[in-house]
Amino acid sequence: MRRNHARFFLAGLFGPISAVACVSSGPAPTGSTPSPVETDVSRLEALYQARTDSAFLTVHEADARFMTGMIHHHAQALVMSALAPHNGASESIRTLTSRIINAQTDEISVMQRWLRDRDRPVPEVDASGQMMGGHMHMVGMLTPDQLDELAAARGQEYDRLFLTYMIQHHNGAVDMVDVLFATDGAAQDDFVFKIASDIQVDQRTEVARMQRMLDAMLSRDNSSLNQTTRSR
């Protein structure tokens, strides 16, 4: 059933997206090459506009819960990532956190619009990831004590904790997608299916990347400790 749905979705999606691409395929003015962030925003915008007909369908409660919960989940990732410049994060961690902020800010915006178009309550998030009324607790999200620990960490300790906690956080988002897809009748809305699938793939990819970064960091720490021990 899911495989057939995916085939239908892709067949319906490529037509509208190709049309958008054809309209904008003329020569770009010199110096106006879009940035990766602008390209990603345009992709989400085109996808959403192409599927606005789904707003007239009956909303499955699991879809609405997923969108609401994932907005809260992404918002906490913004809070975690926004600490990096102020907590002495390494260049590689700052690059990672910037990527997370860009991607998840865009996804929050489009999920808010999906809820708004269906007359559902819309969680409001400010630029730093703080929410009116506070965060819901979703699987993988940090506890207040863990957030305080991360906020207090500096330098390499922040890097280590960020990777450890963001791996936990991303794995929680993957679990949320798994629950959605396992719910009978859920994710039949094309946009819900697409954004949930994208989140699942992106988060798994970033977990693998962050695990490699964390393993390399721990390996360097152990090597330094061994050298110190031998020199005594």
Query: Half-sphere exposure (CA, 13 Å, Cβ side) for 79?
Result: 24
Is the domain spanning 40-45+58-231 CATH 3.40.50.2300? The answer is no
User: Is 78 in contact with 162 (CB distance < 8 Å)?
Assistant: no
Q: Which of 108, 142, 146 has the alpha carbon at shortest distance from 128?
A: 108
In this prediction, residue 133 carries a pLDDT of: 72
The continuous run of DSSP H or E covering 58 comes out as: none
Find the mean pLDDT for residues 84-100.
Answer: 97
In this predicted structure, the answer to whether residue 156 has a pLDDT above a threshold of 90 is yes
In this predicted structure, the answer to whether residue 137 has a pLDDT above a threshold of 90 is no
In this predicted structure, the answer to whether residue 79 has a pLDDT above a threshold of 60 is yes
Instruction: Give the model's confidence band at 179: pLDDT under 50 very low, under 70 low, under 90 confident, else very high.
Output: very high
DSSP 126: -
Output the average pLDDT for the chain: 82
Q: Give the whole-angstrom CA distance, residue 151 versus residue 97.
A: 14
Q: What are phi and psi of 125, to 5 degrees?
A: -125, 135
Residue 131 pairs with which residues in a beta bridge? 125
User: Strand, coil or helix: what is 132?
Assistant: coil
In this predicted structure, the answer to whether residue 124 has a pLDDT above a threshold of 80 is yes
In this prediction, residue 218 carries a pLDDT of: 86
Which amino acid is residue 109, in one-letter code?
A: S
User: Is 41 in contact with 57 (CB distance < 8 Å)?
Assistant: no
Instruction: Give the model's confidence band at 131: pLDDT under 50 very low, under 70 low, under 90 confident, else very high.
Output: confident
**Higher pLDDT residue, 192 or 6?**
192
- Give the model confidence (pLDDT) of 101-113 as tens digits: 999 999 999 999 9
Residue 125 pairs with which residues in a beta bridge? 131
202, two tokens: 């992106």
The percentage of the chain sitting over the pLDDT mark of 90, rounded to a whole number, equals: 63
Domain boundaries, the chain: 40-45+58-231
Least confident segment among 9-13, 143-147, 179-183, 186-190:
9-13
Mark 70-94 as b/e (b = at least 16 C-beta within 10 Å): bbbbbbbbbbbbbbbeebbbbeebe
User: Strand, coil or helix: what is 123?
Assistant: coil
CA distances from 131 to 66, 136, 152, 156 (A): 17, 10, 21, 28
